Amino acid sequence: MSLTHRLRVYWLILRTSMAERFAYRSDFALGTLFRFLPIITQIFLWGAIFRTMGSQGGADQIAGYRYGEMVAYYLMAMLARAFSSMPGLSSGIARDIREGTLKKYLIQPIDMLGYLFWYRVAHKLVYYFVATIPFTIVFYLCRSYFPGWPDAGQLAGLFVALNMAFLLGFLIESLLGLIAFWFLEVSSLLFIYMMLNYFLSGHMIPLDLLPAWAQWIIDFLPFKFLAYFPCALALNKYDHVRMMHELSIGAGWIVGLLILNRWVFARGLRRYGAYGG
């Protein structure tokens, strides 16, 4: 298949998937609304923690975070996770392998990973089209929690970091789904991954709160790019030099995981039996 024809196929996939997703825009809007509810809990929780510390004569910071910065961190973590989360991707790939429906990608000139990628791009585009207004309102109401606007270079880095979170989230979850070529039931593995991801990505708590040895280990893993890294950029915790260093590491993970996905997919097809319907 020529490059031009391949691009036309992917454009058709993107356009069709967006039309399909727009049919459920009310569901997107309702889901977006409920995603903001946990941040209300975080505001009250950390407000109580900082008030308790203040009443006991403690410091007004935790690992370099004041109360406003902590709230801003969780707002940005919610935004970053909206980019990196891929609900149903791993389980969908595993189901296609287990039930034999993977063969629809083999008898048609459509690459499975390419199709799933553009399908997820369409999902995110529709989601943010619907979610733009509620996100804008919430961030405007909470603007006082942020330390200030990042400069132009950091804003550009933040844009790249959010898109990097999407790519890494897709590549990690697709790789987990491809394990079903060897293990037909991967639900337990996916559950373990979700728990580790929630903690190691910095979505549960800022990674700065962890011991130094734990942060050293996490620096060798890709999970921090799914939530923590974009948050740190938005809160001006990285200068330009360190930002570029971290972006280069994240880009290396993307290239490595892309190659690994392709290799595992090719090896898996060698043992694929196409059982089921």
pLDDT tens digits, one per residue of 112-156: 888 899 888 888 887 777 777 777 888 888 888 888 777 888 899
Please state, in angstroms and rounded to a whole number, the distance separating the CA atoms of residues 148 and 166: 25
Let me know the angle formed at the C-alpha of 95 by 262 and 85, rounded to the nearest 5 degrees.
65
Q: What is the pLDDT of residue 254?
A: 96
Instruction: Give the span between the Cα atoms of 267 and 156, in whole angstroms.
Output: 38
Burial class (CB in 10 A: 0-12, 13-18, 19+), 187: exposed
pLDDT tens per residue, range 201-257? 998 889 988 888 998 999 889 999 999 999 999 888 888 999 999 999 999 999 999
Asked whether residue 30 carries a pLDDT value surpassing 70, the answer given is no
Q: Which amino acid is at 195?
A: M
Q: Where are the alpha helices (DSSP H) in the chain?
A: 3-22, 25-35, 37-55, 67-84, 89-99, 103-106, 112-141, 152-178, 187-200, 212-218, 228-234, 240-270
pLDDT value at position 276? Answer: 47
Round to whole Å and give the CA distance between 165 and 91.
Answer: 20
End-to-end CA, the chain: 27
Element of type H or E holding 183: none
What integer pLDDT is reported at residue 40 of this predicted model? 77
Query: Which amino acid appears at position 244 of this protein?
Result: M
Query: Average pLDDT of the chain?
Result: 83
C-alpha pair distances (Å), 19 with each of 14, 36, 109, 119: 9, 26, 22, 11
Do residues 116 and 123 lie in contact, with contact meaning Cβ atoms separated by under 8 Å? no
3-state SS assignment for residue 62: strand
pLDDT of residue 99: 83
In percent, the amount of the chain with pLDDT more than 70 equals: 84
Give the C-alpha separation, 180 to 187, whole Å: 10
Q: Residue 122 and residue 220: Cα distance in Å, rounded?
A: 31
pLDDT at 274: 53
User: Phi/psi class of residue 88: alpha, beta or left (left: φ > 0; alpha: ψ in -120 to 50)?
Assistant: left
- Interatomic CA distance for residues 254 and 266, integer angstroms: 18
* Model pLDDT for residues 80-122, shown as the tens digit of each residue: 988 998 888 998 998 888 888 888 877 777 788 888 998 888 8
| Cα–Cα distance measured from residue 216 to residue 15, given in angstroms and rounded to the nearest whole number | 43
pLDDT of residue 156: 92
- Write out pLDDT tens, residues 174-207: 999 999 888 877 888 888 888 889 899 998 889 9
Q: How far apart are CA 189 and CA 55, in angstroms?
A: 44
Tell which residue, 82, 239, 88, has the closest CA to residue 162.
Answer: 82
